[in-house]
Amino acid sequence: MNDTPGWTSPGSAPSDGQDGSGVPRPASPGDANGSAPQWSKDQPPAGQWQAPTAPAPGAPAPARAQSGPGWGGPQQPYNQWGRPPAAKPGVIPLRPLTMGEILDGAVTTMRRYWQTVLTISVTVAVIGQVADVLAQRYLVPAAPDVNADASPSEQLQQSADAMQSSLIGMGPAYLIMLVATLVCAALLTVVISRAVLGRPVTLGTAWQEARPRLLPLLGLTLLVALMSAGIMFVGLLPGLLLGGAGGVGLAFLGGAAAFVTVIWLTIRFSLASPALMLERQGVFTSLKRSAKLVQGSWWRIFGITILTQLLIFLVAMIITIPFAAIAIGTSDGGFGGLMSGTTPENSWSFLIITGIGGVIVNAITYPISAGVTALLYVDQRIRREALDLELARAAGLPGYGG
């Protein structure tokens, strides 16, 4: 492994005498000739070996024997299992990770390399929110007044038309936010890959390494989105064609089945983005890599992803609600207008204040989301491909080779 994204050759099966990472296993007695262990002929007489006894009361305890390289060196700390703790050159220990360690690694990266991380996330958040504010101000039509005398079907049609107009008006903003979010995820993945090794990275270096992968990353994101939309369309189509009450029930069942399928595929391909960035793979190869890494761990990755999104949602609510209250209070009509049904959605004061809240939310949540995804990828490769040995070697830790 080296200190650039790509790390080690993925997917190679462990060969004879190796553990999957290129590090030879120590030979056991008898391995050289394929025979049983050859013990020395000068063995002590039988029955003259005694088990060690406990020291007398008040006597000092014997020193613990050291193992591994550097026996004569200082005493290594031991954990509760009597083993030396895993090496930690960067933000995570080099061993299989728990959910708490994954979240802690993402937060530690943001705290330790805050200049680079916040420069990326704040810039992307500002670009996305400016596009959103301008689109809502100039492109999204005002909500039509609801006709109280209209029939329920007419009111439903009016709501559908208003939603369609809003989606069309927000289209350019969504596209800008998609590109900005992809750039943010790519840059943060590079930062986290260096943070695992304990090596900082500047914004210029992160951009230089991430720039060649932006178009493949965009293609990967669009492919997964189109795949999900196609599955939902196929699930809803039979019910829409049938119509009537039976069509509604069939559309519900088909939509539910399609939704479950989309969730399954989303988790199955959730590690494709870091695989594409750090292994420099193609789009389809990255999808296959993600499926291979997720296999057998789908529920674990699903649980960590859901809990992470719940945490992000709670953080967003804590920040968004005060800004929304301030925006409503300073807009025309204030809370009284809101109670009477007047919405201040297109006023400049409302859009600017809520936009500031959105920038703060995205600046905090982007690094956490990208960090959890990248560290889940690292964790799965540690579990399946002994990536921890390659990471230790790349970090220059003693005892792991050059």
Q: Which pTM value belongs to this model?
A: 0.74
- 299 Cβ partners below 8 Å, 6+ apart? none
**What are the tens digits of pLDDT across the range 173-225?**
888 888 888 999 999 999 999 999 999 889 999 999 999 999 999 999 999 99
Per-residue pLDDT at 244 exceeds 90:
no
For residue 168, the model assigns a pLDDT of 73
Report for 24-38, 123-137, 240-254, 259-273: range of highest mean pLDDT: 259-273
For residue 44, the model assigns a pLDDT of 47
Domain boundaries, the chain: 99-213+296-384
| Radius of gyration of the CA atoms of the chain, in A | 29
Number of other CB atoms surrounding residue 155 within 10 Å: 14
Answer whether 126's CB lies under 8 Å from 180's CB: no
Give the Cα-Cα-Cα angle 50, 55, 56 (nearest 5 degrees).
Answer: 120
State the chain's mean pLDDT as an integer: 78
- 252 Cβ partners below 8 Å, 6+ apart? 239
Per-residue pLDDT at 106 exceeds 70:
yes
| 306-326 mean pLDDT | 93
For residue 395, the model assigns a pLDDT of 86
Least confident of 149-163, 266-280, 340-354, 368-382: 149-163
CA distance 383 to 375: 12
For residue 149, the model assigns a pLDDT of 59
Kindly tell me the sign of the dihedral angle through the C-alpha atoms of 179, 181, 187, 193. negative
